[in-house]
Amino acid sequence: MRVYNFAAGPSMLPEEVLIEAGKSITDYLGSGMSVMEMSHRSKWYEDINEECRSLVCELMNVPDGYEVIFVQGGASTQFEAVPLNLMHTGKADYIVTGNFAKKAYKEAQKYGDVKLVASSEDKNFTYIPKTTALDFRKDASYVHITQNNTIFGLKYEKLPDTGEIPIVSDMSSCIMSEVTDVRNYGLIYAGAQKNLAPAGVTLVIVRKDLLGRESALCPTMLKYRTQTEARSLYNTPPCWSVYMMMLNLRHLKSRGGIAEIEKVNRRKAVLLYDFIDGSDFYSNKVEKESRSIMNVPFTTPNAQLDAKFVKEAEQDGLVSLKGHRLVGGMRASIYNAMPEEGVKSLIEFMKAFERENR
């Protein structure tokens, strides 16, 4: 029996995608082998690589002037690849709105003069700090943000105004969850295991004019040009993850693309937040205008009840609801693959749990 898996990552994939992958597990398109076994130089894999790239471009409406590549090392490797590739003035500005943002800021400090422009750590990352274009240094190479904070459950509804300075965004936990205008970014990166594919591949979308000024010390494997010039085939790619991403993107396209999934995602989030806000038993501390539509942390009146909640929910087929250790309580991650019925089942469970435990 499939459960509703509320894990923050790796997370659910659509059942149709898993079934499709299962069909080809021993023999992909009459090749007599699995995608896991075939050469990344084969025609079959070349086609997968190209279809996956072109689906990203189509679904996200990626304009000319941007490169789309698949790299390895997860989003965490991008914390260093970004400064190594883009910090040509020796300066970069960071906004810290959560734990991953803090890590990105910390790693970047190895490579230049990095300014912390704003942070919401003073209130345990429950809000997006306000900034204006004047807060950023004119000679900063880029401004780094984490668009959706996976652990604390908050997101940018509106991008900061950075004037002419390109925005670099970690979109690991919100990529393709809502319509995004790629033109507003210098670079977007996202580890795949939240909303795109199994772990192993990281999507990078980068404006071409930002390339070519990398640090002399930038490792070949972290240099974006290595993969843009080799169409993500410089070395052995994570073929299976890219294949799964292709299947998942085909599925997303068949569901009407990002605009349609955004409607579903917003409905799911509204259902859950409205229920939490209408209850005096459950609470969510994030300021309303910055609430994530992907990750919804919440608590009961005390930690004992939180633990009981997680345990009993699991017995009900609602799994991985335990909150991150930095926040405690529960967290429901409701990515693209979480059906609306999953969120409704969670709310029914929450109602019953409240009746029995208040």
Instruction: Provide the binding-site residues for ligand PLP, judged by CB under 6 A.
Output: 9, 74-76, 100, 146, 150, 170, 172-173, 191, 194
Write down the least CB distance from residue 134 to ligand PLP, Å: 27
Amino acid found at 56: V
User: Rounded to the nearest whole angstrom, what is the least distance from the CB of residue 142 to ligand PLP in the complex?
Assistant: 17
Q: Which is nearer to ligand PLP, 275 or 331 (CB)?
A: 331
SS3 129: coil
Closest distance of CB 21 from ligand PLP, Å: 21
- Considering the complex, state which of residue 155 and residue 207 has its C-beta at the smaller distance from ligand PLP: 155
Q: How far is the CB of 193 from ligand PLP (least distance, A)?
A: 6
Q: Which is nearer to ligand PLP, 100 or 240 (CB)?
A: 100
Q: How far is the CB of 149 from ligand PLP (least distance, A)?
A: 7
List Cβ neighbours of 304 (8 Å cut-off, separation of 6 or more). none
Which single residue is written with the structure tokens 């009993």?
A: 312
Rounded distance between C-alpha atoms, residue 17 and residue 84, angstroms: 36
Closest distance to ligand PLP from the beta carbon of 178 (Å): 15
> Which CB sits closer to ligand PLP, 74 or 329?
74
Residue type, 133: A
Cβ-in-10-Å burial (0-12, 13-18, 19+) of 101 comes to buried
Distance in Å, CB of 355 to ligand PLP, minimum: 34
The CA-CA-CA angle for residues 196, 254, 34, to 5°, reads 55
Task: Tally Cβ neighbours within 10 Å of residue 164.
Answer: 7
Closer residue to ligand PLP, CB minimum distance, 146 or 162 = 146
d(CA 41, CA 33): 14
CA distances from 62 to 66, 99, 139, 194, 222 (A): 7, 29, 27, 21, 22
The beta strands (E) that lie in the chain are given as 4-5, 66-71, 91-96, 113-119, 143-146, 148-149, 154-155, 167-170, 187-191, 202-207, 295-298, 318-319, 330-333
Q: How far is the CB of 65 from ligand PLP (least distance, A)?
A: 25
Nearest to ligand PLP of 238, 342 (CB atom): 238
Specify whether the CB–CB gap between 157 and 144 falls below 8 A. Answer: no
Which one, 170 or 353, has the nearer CB to ligand PLP?
Answer: 170
Cβ–Cβ < 8 Å for 103, 79: yes
Question: How many residues would you count in the chain?
Answer: 358
Shortest separation between residue 280's beta carbon and ligand PLP, angstroms:
31
* 75 Cα distance to chain centroid: 9
> What's the rounded Cα separation, in Å, for the pair 237 and 52?
13
Q: How many whole angstroms separate alpha carbon 346 and alpha carbon 300? A: 14
